[in-house]
Structure 1
Amino acid sequence: MPKFSVVISVFNKEKYIAETLKSVLAQTFTDFEVVILNDGSTDNSEAEILKFKDPRIRYFSKENQGAGAARNFVIKETKSDYIALLDADDFWLPFYLEEQYKLTTDFSNESVFATAIDIEKKSKLYSSEYSVLNLQQNEVRIVDFFSSSFLNSILTSSSTVLHKNVFSKIGYYDPSIKSGQDTDLWIRIGLEYAVVFLNKPCAVYRYALASLSNSRLKVSQKASFEKYETYEKDNPALKKFLDLNRYSLCILAKLEGNKEAFDKNFQKIDQENLSKKQQFLLRQNKTILKYLSKTKDNLEKLGLRLGTFK
């Protein structure tokens, strides 16, 4: 049985999947399998995948079933105890699995492992920031997911390894959620597990340059957090994490002109959990937010973000 099962679900990623797979096959730690599903792609993703003949790759193809169901399929097909998540348009640095092997060996009683991840945007790399006090470069620390993820999520779909027993305990991705299935999963993980975190960038997330105002997904298709409201009453870190996500939903609702969705999320936010900049953005009207979203690269340079965090 291989040490790691690398799981990848693919939908229309022909431009990226070859580089993603190359980064897996170039790992210095080689005891792994790759379980990959072509989730009904309508581009040349399948042709790109089939160019790889490595015996460690197990390939499946099905009609499109959505991101959550596709991720569940590959996870359930794994043979290893340790499942390494990887999105089809991201990639690993050659030492990623080697570092994860050290974490799973040194902290064998733990079940959730993650490394820092860099963000590639317009061919430039940016470091992720995490809300962990006095965190040093290359430091390993066992952390709470929620309090560590106020700036950027300490768990991502390309920098996380999970013991298979995690899914047995908390369940799989929720296929009914069109966007944000990963955030929903992280919340359930955070309620049950600590995270072994290595503050060393070992993976690269490709940032999609898409304006919030042009998003095809509506608030109704995003993850909602009603089922976690009973937990946040006694968990301030969870409460703040959810409020930051509600803030993002409020921004999207304003851009849609969806007053009902805005009011529903806004009334649940403790304003003390938001920065002054975020509070300022929530007071702006749809026209101003649309203008700001079109120039959000410049906005972020000033320290203002329309997304979930900061």
Structure 2
Amino acid sequence: MDKLVSIIIPCYNDASFIEQAIDSAFSQTYANKEIIVVDDGSNTETKNIIKSVQSKIDILITQQNKGVCIARNNAIERAKGEYILTLDADDFFEPSFLEKAVDILNKRSNVGMVTCYVNVITVKNNTSYVLKPSGTNDTEPLYYNNSMGSCLYRKSIWQEVEGYDENLKEGFEDWEFNIAISKKGWMVHVIAEILFNYRIKPTSRNQSAKNYQKKIRRYVFLKHSDIAETNFEKTLDFFLDEIEMLRRLIHAQQNTASFRIGHFFVKLGKPILSIFKKK
């Protein structure tokens, strides 16, 4: 019998997209699945949308707003599936993803997670580009995330790493989760097809998480300091490369015409301001 897949969809105020997310889960060509939606304290508009498609949902969990980590962990605790598919409420899968991803987990016991190429949609200006995760299985995830947050994995690896880290309230919990499973020796397989659609919104958690990058990265690097210390040279090169990239960006900005004109007027303004100060 085909293994049961539990599709986990946390939702917080995503009235514009939650129906498409649920439809993409419901429309997967892989039949043996259950859909679990977590209403994480959403507004009335979102609740009404969820209610309108409730016939497609197997389990609806309603809770006060506690964040995506707690929402996912609570849903996975109740999930009956041997495999877990995570899906954010503003994204959607192509219909064949689950069927293809399950086949890989069934055939390859060393693969713990399956992701794919991604169509990244920028909502603000309605543009898109293709992202191709690397899917490595060594220390790389500490330095560069190797998978999308929405992907298929074995429930056993979620149990093995004790779920999503609920301390990461500001975001990037998927990155830390991927580091944790890679440390356990699990491989991440990438399907070389665009089977997932990921939206970047001005209000996306990963966008707002950028405001907390120092805090989040410090926490993750300290939590996984064993990797950072064992691979000290790689860690050093990683941060030196970031410093060099920042230096080049600043240099490029300084060489733009707008910067030079602005700098000219700043210099011009100083003697003028000094005149007023004397008066």
Residue aligning to 2:70: 69
Residue aligning to 2:153: 162
User: Is the CA contact 1:146–1:237 (under 8 Å) kept in the aligned structure 2?
Assistant: no
Decide which structure has greater helix share: 2
**Distance in structure 2 (CA, Å) of the matches to 1:222 and 1:67:** 15
Cα gap change, 1:211 to 1:67, in 2 (>3 Å): closer
The one-letter code of the counterpart of 1:233 is: E
Gaps of 5+ in 1: 133-141, 244-268, 286-290, 293-310
* CA RMSD of superposed structures (Å): 3.5
Gaps of 5+ in 2: 260-279
Of stretches 217-226 and 74-83 in structure 1, the one that deviates more from structure 2 is 217-226
**Distance in structure 2 (CA, Å) of the matches to 1:240 and 1:13:** 40
**Distance in structure 1 (CA, Å) of the matches to 2:233 and 2:201:** 28
Runs ≥4 in structure 1, deviation > 6 angstroms? 148-151, 282-285
- Select 2:231's aligned residue among 202, 215, 235: 235
Cα gap change, 1:237 to 1:207, in 2 (>3 Å): farther
**Distance in structure 2 (CA, Å) of the matches to 1:275 and 1:220:** 14
Q: 1:217-236 to 2 correspondence within 5 Å? A: 217-219=211-213, 222-223=216-217, 224=219, 225-235=221-231
Cα gap change, 1:210 to 1:39, in 2 (>3 Å): closer
Normalised to the residue count of structure 2, the TM-score between the two structures is 0.76
Cα gap change, 1:177 to 1:148, in 2 (>3 Å): closer
Q: Larger Rg: 1 or 2? A: 2
Instruction: Give the deviation of 1:147 after TM superposition.
Output: 3.6
**Distance in structure 2 (CA, Å) of the matches to 1:194 and 1:143:** 7
Instruction: Give the deviation of 1:150 after TM superposition.
Output: 6.4
Deviations 1:51-97 (A, max 9, x none): 11436521110111122111111111100110001111100111111
Normalised to the residue count of structure 1, the TM-score between the two structures is 0.69
**Distance in structure 2 (CA, Å) of the matches to 1:279 and 1:207:** 27
Q: 1:101-112 to 2 correspondence within 5 Å? A: 101-112=102-113
Deviations 1:269-303 (A, max 9, x none): 3x1x4384334347899xxxxx99xxxxxxxxxxx
User: Is the CA contact 2:141–2:178 (under 8 Å) kept in the aligned structure 1?
Assistant: no
User: Is the CA contact 1:32–1:56 (under 8 Å) kept in the aligned structure 2?
Assistant: no
**Distance in structure 2 (CA, Å) of the matches to 1:189 and 1:236:** 21
Matched residues, number: 248
Cα gap change, 1:20 to 1:3, in 2 (>3 Å): same
Residue aligning to 2:128: 125
**Distance in structure 2 (CA, Å) of the matches to 1:154 and 1:108:** 19
User: Is the CA contact 1:2–1:79 (under 8 Å) kept in the aligned structure 2?
Assistant: no
**Matched position secondary structure for 1:233:** helix
Instruction: Give the deviation of 1:15 after TM superposition.
Output: 0.9
Instruction: Give the deviation of 1:166 after TM superposition.
Output: 0.4
Among the aligned pairs, what percent are the same residue?
20
User: Is the CA contact 2:22–2:56 (under 8 Å) kept in the aligned structure 1?
Assistant: no
**Matched position secondary structure for 2:34:** strand
